[in-house]
């Protein structure tokens, strides 16, 4: 990477360089971790499977995950403790951490797929060996509670990870095609909701709603709203300045969603971003009482005043046929069309 590209990757516009002397600019650059990328995955590679959050319900979860990876021609290495249970967690913190570290340390493992999310990944963040991660960059794939790892790896190691299906997700032909194009072919994809009119004259499902029109570019960051809001004030969130933020949620009432957006606002994150995409809020119905805000009202209250390109309804979240987004790379959104265009290769 040349000097111009490196400075751009730090989110510092070239026009600002006259504000710094040469030594000051180099000092600033040295404080920011460079973007790290794993290798492109190929048939014959070994993929490690781990459970860094909740416990598995049965052996089928492992069997299905292995069948999915075998479909792509991968070999599979199981984490030592994926069948363990400690309360609702997939083993003790020590056990889940050991599996995570082992997969990154193992030179024969090309990438890591989380079998499921759930809860508990945040318990590991203060004990992860981020120097080990930096020395062994590789693709990590997951969503939901895996957002904790996705955010921490970006913040502490600068690692590009992938927000997408876990092993127990529904791997449709569309999801499989996206996985191959993104992780095996290393394509620069443009993500847009599938057009499914069926026998109808207009599309009723998976429509997008433009909050503020326009086009924005920036580092693509995001994941589950609960996890990101819960990490506010910790060292495990990356710098959101000039970024494109995407969010999704499941089974949270509107008042809780509202509270979490308050947290992002009060933490200053919403003022830092250049663009915003909200995915699906699956099962986020009102819990009763004297009435409730709806999601449209919440987004209107918190996002509309930002006057940045923004839209909702993207197929991101706890759904089938979800996007598989590389987190940490440069991207462009078009809030009028409802697209997320990846501008930078996510792997090497």
Phi-psi region of 91 (alpha: psi -120 to 50; beta: other; left: phi over 0): left
What SS3 state is found at 283? coil
C-beta neighbour count of 188 within 10 angstroms: 15
Name the token pair of 325. 């987004």
In the residue annotation, 54 being an active-site residue is answered as no
Q: Which of 122, 249, 318, 341 is labelled catalytic?
A: 318
For residues 281 and 250, the answer to whether their CB atoms sit within 8 Å is yes
- The whole-angstrom separation of Cα 168 and Cα 54 is 12
Query: Catalytic residue among 163, 169, 243, 248, which?
Result: 248
The token pair at 219 is: 């580092």
Q: Is 317 left (phi over 0), alpha (psi -120 to 50) or beta?
A: left
By the 10 Å C-beta count (0-12 exposed, 13-18 middle, 19+ buried), 176 is classed as middle
Degrees to nearest 5, angle at CA 130 with 124 and 136: 120
**Across-strand partners of 139?**
111
DSSP state of 35: P
The burial class, CB within 10 Å (0-12 / 13-18 / 19+), for 89 is: buried
Angle at 211 between CA 327 and CA 228, to 5 degrees: 35
Question: Do the Cβ atoms of 317 and 212 come closer than 8 Å?
Answer: no
> For this structure, is 318 an active site residue?
yes
| 144 given a catalytic annotation | yes
Q: Spell out the residues 6+ positions from residue 109 whose beta carbon is closer than 8 angstroms to its own.
A: 46, 47, 48, 77, 103, 138
Strand, helix or coil at 209? strand
Spot the catalytic one: 144, 169, 229, 310.
Answer: 144
Catalytic positions, written as ranges: 144, 248, 318
């Amino acid at each position: 990477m040349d000097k111009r590209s490196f400075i751009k990757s730090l989110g510092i516009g070239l026009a600002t360089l006259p504000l710094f002397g040469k030594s000051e600019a180099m000092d600033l650059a040295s404080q920011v971790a460079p973007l790290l990328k794993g290798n492109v995955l190929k048939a014959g590679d070994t993929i490690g499977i781990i459970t860094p959050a909740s416990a598995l319900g049965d052996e089928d979860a492992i069997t299905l995950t292995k069948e999915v990876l075998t479909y792509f021609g991968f070999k599979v290495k199981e984490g030592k403790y994926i069948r363990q249970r400690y309360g609702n967690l997939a083993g003790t913190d020590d056990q889940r951490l050991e599996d995570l570290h082992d997969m990154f340390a193992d030179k024969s493992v090309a990438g890591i797929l989380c079998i499921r999310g759930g809860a508990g990944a945040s318990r590991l963040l203060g004990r992860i060996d981020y120097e080990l991660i930096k020395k062994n960059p590789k693709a990590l794939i997951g969503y939901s509670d895996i957002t904790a790892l996705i955010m921490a790896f970006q913040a502490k190691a600068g690692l590009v990870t992938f927000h997408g299906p876990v092993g127990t997700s529904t791997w449709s032909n569309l999801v499989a095609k996206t996985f191959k194009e993104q992780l095996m072919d290393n394509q620069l994809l443009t993500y847009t909701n599938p057009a499914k009119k069926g026998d109808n004259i207009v599309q009723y499902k998976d429509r997008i709603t433009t909050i503020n029109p326009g086009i924005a570019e920036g580092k693509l960051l995001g994941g589950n709203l609960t996890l990101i809001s819960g990490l506010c004030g910790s060292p495990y969130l990356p710098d959101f300045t000039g970024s494109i933020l995407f969010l999704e949620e499941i089974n949270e009432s509107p008042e809780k969603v509202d509270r979490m957006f308050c947290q992002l606002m009060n933490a200053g994150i919403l003022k830092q971003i250049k663009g915003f995409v909200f995915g699906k809020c699956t099962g986020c119905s009102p819990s009763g009482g004297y009435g409730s805000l709806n999601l449209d009202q919440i987004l209107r209250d918190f996002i509309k005043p930002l006057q940045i390109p923004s839209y909702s309804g993207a197929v991101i979240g706890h759904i089938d046929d979800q996007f598989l987004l590389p987190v940490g790379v440069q991207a462009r959104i078009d809030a009028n069309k409802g697209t997320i265009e990846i501008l930078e290769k996510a792997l090497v």
